[in-house]
Amino acid sequence: MSSQISAAPAQNSSPVDWWKYLLLAVILLVVLPLALDIFRLNLIGKYLTYAFVAIGLVLCWGCGGILSLGQGVFFGLGGYCMAMFLKLEASNPEATAIQSTPGIPDFMDWNQLTELPWFWQPFHSLSFTLLAVIAVPVIFAFIIGVAMFTRRVGGVYFAIITQAIAAILTILIIGQQGYTGGVNGITDLRTFVGWDIRTESAQYLLYFVNVALLFACLFAALYIKRCKLGRLLVAMREKEDRVRFSGYNVASFKIFVFCIGAAFAAIGGAMFTLQVGFMSPSFVGIVPSIEMVIFCAVGGRLSLLGAVYGTLLVNLAKTSFSESFPELWLFAMGALFIGVVLAFPDGLAGLYQTYIQPWFKHFINREKVGLTPPAPIPEKTTTPAKEPVASSLSSSLEESRNVPA
């Protein structure tokens, strides 16, 4: 077939479909802001903060096969770091004059604390906070990663342990009410360096900042996925031993990608706090962590863009569905997850690859053939003809390979 003896790149290195990223950018930056009022747009902004987590999961889980059921931990840590800064700013002595100890956050006062705990002190500084938003979750992920991956804990055991960590952290936050705000979380956040984040204009700006950061993370993830490290992750997912005996320290790569996932989640968490105006343990625990995995699975765990669309769609469904049938939502979510895993394991991106893309290609090819009839026909026809066959075998791997981003 391809007797070409060039060292041309193969599947994973096929050119990026930049138009898809452009399309997403147009939707997020032009269409939605024009079509939606600020309340709805703010909701979209909130959903997009989960997309950061989903992108990290594409790298960890989709590429590397490391299923973490505790990404809420990193989302929460990032969010809490930001919330602590905002809370300190909101708790200046004038605003808290009625408290028995003015100048400390209100929940501390309610819990009979009389001075700011030591670990809250550095969060007076903006630069420390911005650093901590990333550094705290990444260091935590690094510790978990070193402890797990160098001992070769993987697969379902790793998933269970991360889930346990999410549960432990939730319990810790709720239990240490005086230091963390307990089950209510850190609420009543007002200004970010003197700038009121509750106004409409602030929410618009934060939405755009959020989208910009999302694209930064998308491109970083795209780079990682397409460089040799991305192919190594796939190789590790398939034959970890082979990678090890090809001279790689497998644990170091797993730790790296796990930390990257944590960093993305943390940025999402911080943006969540800024846009929604509070942070609570309900975004740290097991349920939100699993929900984030579902967003990623629905979008297609091998597709970065799929993860973004999956997050948006599931959350839109959640909002509209839970408005009418609140108690049914969790069941619907579970059913959705089972359905995705059983029926279309590559999610929306897989469906796109299987059904829409071949049709697209066919359409484009026909145009091309019309212009330059003889040459390209034999070569071109092989590709689209093969794809539906492969996918009808429902070989998930077969499909996933073609997912470009």
Nearest partner of 58 among 47, 46, 44, 68, judged by Cα: 68
Window of 204-212, 252-260, 261-269, 331-339 that interacts with other proteins by CB under 8 A: 252-260
Residue 397 sits in the site that holds other proteins (CB under 8 A)? yes
Residue 382 sits in the site that holds other proteins (CB under 8 A)? no
d(CA 113, CA 278) in angstroms, rounded, equals 21
Among the listed residues 8, 97, 371, 389, the single contact to other proteins using CB under 8 A: 8
Window of 73-81, 273-281, 320-328, 394-402 that interacts with other proteins by CB under 8 A: 394-402
Among the listed residues 24, 72, 183, 241, the single contact to other proteins using CB under 8 A: 241
Torsion of CA 304, 310, 316, 320, to 10 degrees: -170
**Span 255-284, contacts to other proteins by CB under 8 A:** 256
Size of the site for other proteins (CB under 8 A): 38
Residue 253 sits in the site that holds other proteins (CB under 8 A)? yes
Nearest partner of 225 among 14, 76, 384, judged by Cα: 14
Window of 1-9, 29-37, 162-170, 264-272 that interacts with other proteins by CB under 8 A: 1-9
Report which DSSP code applies to 279.
B
Phi, psi for residue 192 in degrees, rounded to 5: -120, 105
Among the listed residues 67, 88, 235, 267, the single contact to other proteins using CB under 8 A: 235
Window of 8-16, 158-166, 309-317, 327-335 that interacts with other proteins by CB under 8 A: 8-16
**Contact (CB, 8 A) for 61 and 292:** no
Among the listed residues 304, 400, 403, 404, the single contact to other proteins using CB under 8 A: 400
Rounded to the nearest whole angstrom, what is the least distance from the CB of residue 79 to other proteins in the complex?
27
Residue 152 sits in the site that holds other proteins (CB under 8 A)? no
Among the listed residues 141, 232, 271, 405, the single contact to other proteins using CB under 8 A: 232
Cα separation of the two ends of the chain? 26
- The one-letter code for the residue type at 155 is G
At 195 the three-state DSSP class reads: strand
User: CA–CA distance from 342 to each of 71, 167, 168, 252, 253 (Å)?
Assistant: 23, 28, 31, 32, 30
Tokens of 256: 């790296």
Which neighbouring-strand residues pair with 10?
none
Residue 246 sits in the site that holds other proteins (CB under 8 A)? yes
At 229 the three-state DSSP class reads: helix
Rounded to the nearest whole angstrom, what is the least distance from the CB of residue 228 to other proteins in the complex?
4
Of 106 and 398, the one with the shorter C-beta distance to other proteins is 398
User: CA–CA distance from 31 to each of 28, 46, 168, 287 (Å)?
Assistant: 6, 17, 41, 31
Window of 131-139, 250-258, 287-295, 372-380 that interacts with other proteins by CB under 8 A: 250-258
Of 80 and 256, the one with the shorter C-beta distance to other proteins is 256
Residue 248 sits in the site that holds other proteins (CB under 8 A)? yes
Of 182 and 404, the one with the shorter C-beta distance to other proteins is 404
d(CA 360, CA 353) in angstroms, rounded, equals 10
Among the listed residues 157, 195, 208, 245, the single contact to other proteins using CB under 8 A: 245
Query: What does the buried/exposed string (b/e) look like for 258-289 if buried means 16 or more CB atoms within 10 Å of the residue's CB?
Result: bbbbbbbbbbbbbbbbbbbbbbbbbbbbbebb
Rounded to the nearest whole angstrom, what is the least distance from the CB of residue 231 to other proteins in the complex?
6
**Contact (CB, 8 A) for 32 and 41:** yes
**Contact (CB, 8 A) for 79 and 64:** no
Rounded to the nearest whole angstrom, what is the least distance from the CB of residue 230 to other proteins in the complex?
9
Rounded to the nearest whole angstrom, what is the least distance from the CB of residue 381 to other proteins in the complex?
18
- The one-letter code for the residue type at 34 is L
Among the listed residues 202, 229, 313, 351, the single contact to other proteins using CB under 8 A: 229
Residue 127 sits in the site that holds other proteins (CB under 8 A)? no
d(CA 2, CA 76) in angstroms, rounded, equals 50
At 192 the three-state DSSP class reads: strand
Of 5 and 98, the one with the shorter C-beta distance to other proteins is 5
Residue 114 sits in the site that holds other proteins (CB under 8 A)? no
Rounded to the nearest whole angstrom, what is the least distance from the CB of residue 239 to other proteins in the complex?
5
Of 173 and 255, the one with the shorter C-beta distance to other proteins is 255
Q: Which residues bind other proteins (CB under 8 A)?
A: 2-5, 7-13, 224, 227-229, 231-232, 234-235, 237-239, 241-250, 252-253, 256, 397, 400-401
